Amino acid sequence: MADKKPTIHDVAARAGVSKSLVSLALRGSSKVSDASREAIERAAAELGYRPNATARSLADRKSRTIGINMAEIDNPIFPQMLSGAHAVIRERGYNTMLVSGERDPLVEFGELAKLLEFQIEGLILISHRMSATTVRSLASDVPTVVLTLQGITGPGIDSVTSDDEAGARMAMRHLFDLGHERIAHISGGSLEPAVVRERIYREEMSAAGLEAHISVYEGDLTNEGGLRAARELLSNGPTPTAIFASNDISAIGVMSACSEHGLSVPEDISILGYDGISIGELHAINLTTISQPLTAMGELAAERLFDRMAGKRLQGRSIVLEPELMVRGTTAAPKAQRQRN
Amino acid sequence: MADKKPTIHDVAARAGVSKSLVSLALRGSSKVSDASREAIERAAAELGYRPNATARSLADRKSRTIGINMAEIDNPIFPQMLSGAHAVIRERGYNTMLVSGERDPLVEFGELAKLLEFQIEGLILISHRMSATTVRSLASDVPTVVLTLQGITGPGIDSVTSDDEAGARMAMRHLFDLGHERIAHISGGSLEPAVVRERIYREEMSAAGLEAHISVYEGDLTNEGGLRAARELLSNGPTPTAIFASNDISAIGVMSACSEHGLSVPEDISILGYDGISIGELHAINLTTISQPLTAMGELAAERLFDRMAGKRLQGRSIVLEPELMVRGTTAAPKAQRQRN
DNA sequence: CCCTCTCCTTGGAACGCTCCAAAATAACGG
DNA sequence: CCGTTATTTTGGAGCGTTCCAAGGAGAGGG
């Protein structure tokens, strides 16, 4: 630890060969005699030699690094996707450089720029809030895959999303099938997935001839936001028989508000979330939801990125997965309905 | 995009100065005339020049990168700590390289080795399961801070933990104060924090003259494990009036098991967790727990690391934080007790 | 014993940047 | 106007690798 770290030269000297041969041997080239290989490996081990990845990157112009930009971690869907992507990256022998914009676009921009300076070979964006312009400008420098944002396309950009329209439709159908008519929606602000879900809510209500019952309260895809919106909704007039929340985290907030108001779920009111986060499965929550294959989406994103980096000809730029209705314990037929049976 | 990325030479040529001056100017040196600076900045902007961080690292021997090894993400305490550490790292202008061992020590070892090859300047280990030998060997190469593992010390190693003994004692005192005597424990396997918590459980039970009621079922710090252990416990003989689980995630599993057995919490049985993960706060869960300042621990770890990297003389190697009892809705006096009142 | 062919091995030139000693220029004082 | 000093600017030598063209050493053939 006192003197400098050993370099390839030190190994070469000790093994009595040239640095070039050491380089070859250590990378497992077949054109190195057994004798030299052995000597080199011994010397390297004795010196505790560690190749310098920085130097290597510079020399061969490959960083073997993928950048990932992940939104805040207070919504577990992001870490879950991260985990999927990260696993694939590791498996392929690449490294992951993680940045996060911390909700501040300026910070985010700076962080993304740093990733590029680090010569990342590919970029995965796990976030609901990226502007199309930013993404396009990034993608002109490095292959990019966007998760969860369907709208963004352009040269160098792939996307992995799940079909939010179909999912939201499933959600509404499920509630209709149970017999609900007075269905309210907790929206999620202006972020893309939330906007789609709200639009479908309105469309489906109208299509079912229930315009009169359309009722939207604005949340923000957080637990707090769901709680707040639901409180307002519940203290504001006729209570709906079901609430479709824009995502699971806010649906859990809605559950809290309902219990505050003495409503039991699903007896008095049904609640339906969206995302399929793993805490929703917990017995204590047991949330009916539209589930997206989060980990798989992360994996797919990484795989797609590697294919693209390898220059494979691929048809299509966006992968759209099908969400799935998970009926659990927070939805049931409305009271009136059940009495009739 | 067609031709190569512009380098510092291209900028120099365009601005009509030498590469050295460009380097100086771009790093904001004060000894560059205003005229040159301006010309250089313009040239850089026009070319869309991006410094190559790899080359820079090699030249000045600073990677400006911190490595973080994080255990699986299925226990949210890890992402929460990650988030704290990550924020500080970013703030200091450093980058984060993230690896994960995926439960396999061999993989973990390889990943950690890669971090070192990338010339990271510091290492943060967020994991319950690191062997002391591994950590010591890493720390001999790079300043290291360990989170949550109190036992590991050695040259170059700092640690940030919270006082598990005190915390576990608080937990037991809380249950005693409520009047519980038949208290069971769901343990967490052989990982350090779990072992400490179990030991204190036994000590406190003995000290209170309740050896006869000591009852430990083995979990593994996962939700599943807690569920399984609690099921066994509940179908196995006299039901305790309280269960102290080794961590929150497994406590939530315990809650599920209780509800399966028709026990209501906290009326029929009290449940106490440990960690203070944010889902525990959710209304639907509302778990009484011993809370550790997770995000703060992550931040502290990163700060300590930077201090160490700066070569500051610091007294002490381990920071031990005090946990806090959060009384929420899953603990109450035992039934018998309440009847007596 | 010379000539070709393989099979190994090698030195030097990148990679894009920082650092440093030294050169060039500007500024100042008498 | 010259010697000094302060301010800017510069070329070259690294940083630790990889890549490549070319050199050396045996082996086999005539």
Distance CA A261, CA A240 (A): 13
Chain A to chain B Cβ contacts (< 8 Å)? 130
Neighbours of B114 (CB within 10 A): 21
| pLDDT for residue B101 is more than 90 | no
pLDDT of residue A312: 83
Joined tokens for residue B132 = 């002391």
Please report whether residue A58 resides in a domain. no
Q: Do residues A46 and A71 both lie within one domain?
A: no
Question: Among residues of chain A, what percentage have pLDDT more than 90?
Answer: 82
**Helices first, then strands: H and E counts in chain A:** 13, 12
pLDDT tens by residue, B196-246: 999 999 999 999 999 999 999 999 999 999 999 999 999 998 999 999 999
Nucleotides in chain D near protein beta carbons (<7 Å): 7-12, 14-20
A229-238, B18-27, B45-54, B145-154: segment of lowest average pLDDT: B145-154
| pLDDT for residue A252 is more than 90 | yes
pLDDT of residue A337: 55
Joined tokens for residue B27 = 């790093």
Q: Could you give the C-alpha distances from A175 to A188, A210, A288, B68, in angstroms and in order? A: 20, 13, 11, 45
Distance CA B288, CA B174 (A): 10
Task: Kindly indicate the confidence band of residue B119, based on its pLDDT and cuts at 50, 70 and 90.
Answer: very high
Task: Please report, for the domain that includes residue B134, its CATH number.
Answer: 3.40.50.2300
- Scanning the structure block, which residue is given the tokens 């079909």? A163
Please report whether residue B330 resides in a domain. yes
**What's the whole-number mean pLDDT along residues B28-46?**
94
To the nearest whole angstrom, how far is the Cα of B173 from the nearest Cα of chain A? 26
Angle at B294 between CA A245 and CA B150, to 5 degrees: 145
Q: Do residues B201 and B301 both lie within one domain?
A: no
Q: Do residues B151 and B284 both lie within one domain?
A: no
Which residues are CB-contacts of B178 (< 8 A; sequence separation ≥ 6)?
Answer: B242, B270, B331, B332, B333, B334, B337
pLDDT of residue A2: 41
Q: Do residues B168 and B132 both lie within one domain?
A: no
- Scanning the structure block, which residue is given the tokens 């291209």? B10
CA-nearest residue of chain B to A65? Answer: B97
pLDDT of residue B72: 78
* Cβ–Cβ gap B252/A284 under 8 Å: yes
Supply the DSSP symbol for B184. Answer: E
Q: Is A191 in a helix, a strand, or coil? A: coil
pLDDT tens by residue, A258-309: 999 999 999 999 999 999 998 898 888 899 999 999 999 999 999 999 999 9
Whether residue A120 contacts residue A114, with contact meaning beta carbons closer than 8 Å, is answered with no
pLDDT of residue A341: 43
- CA-closest candidate to residue B290, choices B258, B247, B241: B247
pLDDT of residue A82: 95
The values of phi and psi at residue B76, to 5°, are -65, -10
Q: Which of A152-156, B4-8, B117-121 has the highest mean pLDDT?
A: B117-121
Nucleotides in chain C near protein beta carbons (<7 Å): 7-12, 14-20
A146-150, B277-281, B335-339: segment of lowest average pLDDT: B335-339
Query: Is B327 within 8 Å of chain A by CB?
Result: no
Chain B residues with CB-CB distance to A255 below 8 A: 283-284
Distance CA B293, CA B215 (A): 29
| Strands B122-126 and B65-70, bridge-based pairing | parallel
Chain B residues with CB-CB distance to A58 below 8 A: 52, 54-55, 58
Q: Do residues B83 and B194 both lie within one domain?
A: no
**What's the whole-number mean pLDDT along residues B324-340?**
84
Which residues are CB-contacts of A99 (< 8 A; sequence separation ≥ 6)?
Answer: A67, A68, A69, A70, A108, A111, A112, A114, A115, B90, B95, B96
**What's the whole-number mean pLDDT along residues A314-327?**
91
pLDDT of residue B341: 43
- Scanning the structure block, which residue is given the tokens 């050491």? A22
Q: Do residues B179 and B265 both lie within one domain?
A: yes
* Cβ–Cβ gap A282/B285 under 8 Å: yes
pLDDT of residue B280: 92
**What's the whole-number mean pLDDT along residues A170-183?**
98
Distance CA A243, CA A250 (A): 11
pLDDT tens by residue, A116-167: 999 999 999 999 888 899 999 999 999 999 999 887 888 889 999 999 999 9
Distance from CA(A50) to C1'(D26), angstroms, rounded: 34
Q: Where do the H-state alpha helices sit in A74-142? A: 77-91, 105-117, 132-139
Joined tokens for residue A256 = 């809290």
| pLDDT for residue B190 is more than 80 | yes
Residue that wins the pLDDT comparison between B169 and A315: B169
Neighbours of B339 (CB within 10 A): 8
Task: Kindly indicate the confidence band of residue B337, based on its pLDDT and cuts at 50, 70 and 90.
Answer: low
If contacts are CB pairs under 8 Å, which of residues 130-149 in chain B contact chain A?
140-141
Query: Is A98 within 8 Å of chain B by CB?
Result: yes
| pLDDT for residue A1 is more than 50 | no
* Cβ–Cβ gap A52/B119 under 8 Å: yes
Please report whether residue B334 resides in a domain. yes
Residue A252 is nearest to which of B1, B79, B282, comparing CB atoms? B282
pLDDT tens by residue, B71-93: 877 788 999 999 999 999 999 99
Q: Do residues A253 and A128 both lie within one domain?
A: no
CA atoms within 13 A on the CB side of A83: 21
Please report whether residue A269 resides in a domain. yes
- DSSP assignment string, A35-85: HHHHHHHHHHHHHT----HHHHHHHHT---EEEEEE--SSSTHHHHHHHHH
Whether residue A23 contacts residue A8, with contact meaning beta carbons closer than 8 Å, is answered with yes
The mean pLDDT of chain B is: 93
| pLDDT for residue A338 is more than 70 | no
| Strands B157-162 and B318-321, bridge-based pairing | parallel
**Which residue type is seen at B237?**
G
Query: Is B259 within 8 Å of chain A by CB?
Result: yes
The mean pLDDT of chain A is: 93
Please report whether residue A59 resides in a domain. no
Whether residue B143 contacts residue B159, with contact meaning beta carbons closer than 8 Å, is answered with no
Chain B residues with CB-CB distance to A90 below 8 A: 99-100, 102, 107, 111
pLDDT of residue B282: 85
Q: Do residues A143 and A178 both lie within one domain?
A: no
Q: Do residues B329 and B225 both lie within one domain?
A: yes
Please report whether residue A86 resides in a domain. yes
| pLDDT for residue A35 is more than 80 | yes
- Give chain B's domain count: 3
Neighbours of A97 (CB within 10 A): 23
Angle at A232 between CA A227 and CA A237, to 5 degrees: 135
Strand C contacts (Cβ < 7 A) comprise: A 17-21, 24, 30-33, 35-36, 55, 58-59, 61; B 4-5, 7-9, 19-20, 23, 26-27, 51-52, 55-56, 58-60
Q: Do residues B242 and B307 both lie within one domain?
A: no
Domain range spanning residue B25?
8-51
Joined tokens for residue A317 = 């730029």
Please report whether residue B1 resides in a domain. no
**What's the whole-number mean pLDDT along residues A79-98?**
95
**What's the whole-number mean pLDDT along residues A173-196?**
96
Chain B residues with CB-CB distance to A118 below 8 A: 53-54, 95
Query: Is A58 within 8 Å of chain B by CB?
Result: yes
Please report whether residue A57 resides in a domain. no
The values of phi and psi at residue A128, to 5°, are -90, -20
Distance from CA(A29) to C1'(C2), angstroms, rounded: 33
Task: Kindly indicate the confidence band of residue B1, based on its pLDDT and cuts at 50, 70 and 90.
Answer: very low
Q: Do residues A98 and A109 both lie within one domain?
A: yes
Strand D: which residues 197-256 of A lie within 7 A (CB)?
none
Task: Kindly indicate the confidence band of residue A199, based on its pLDDT and cuts at 50, 70 and 90.
Answer: very high
To the nearest whole angstrom, how far is the Cα of B96 from the nearest Cα of chain A? 6
Question: Among residues of chain B, what percentage have pLDDT more than 70?
Answer: 97
Task: Kindly indicate the confidence band of residue A340, based on its pLDDT and cuts at 50, 70 and 90.
Answer: very low
Q: Do residues B21 and B84 both lie within one domain?
A: no
Strand D: which residues 56-115 of B lie within 7 A (CB)?
58-59, 61
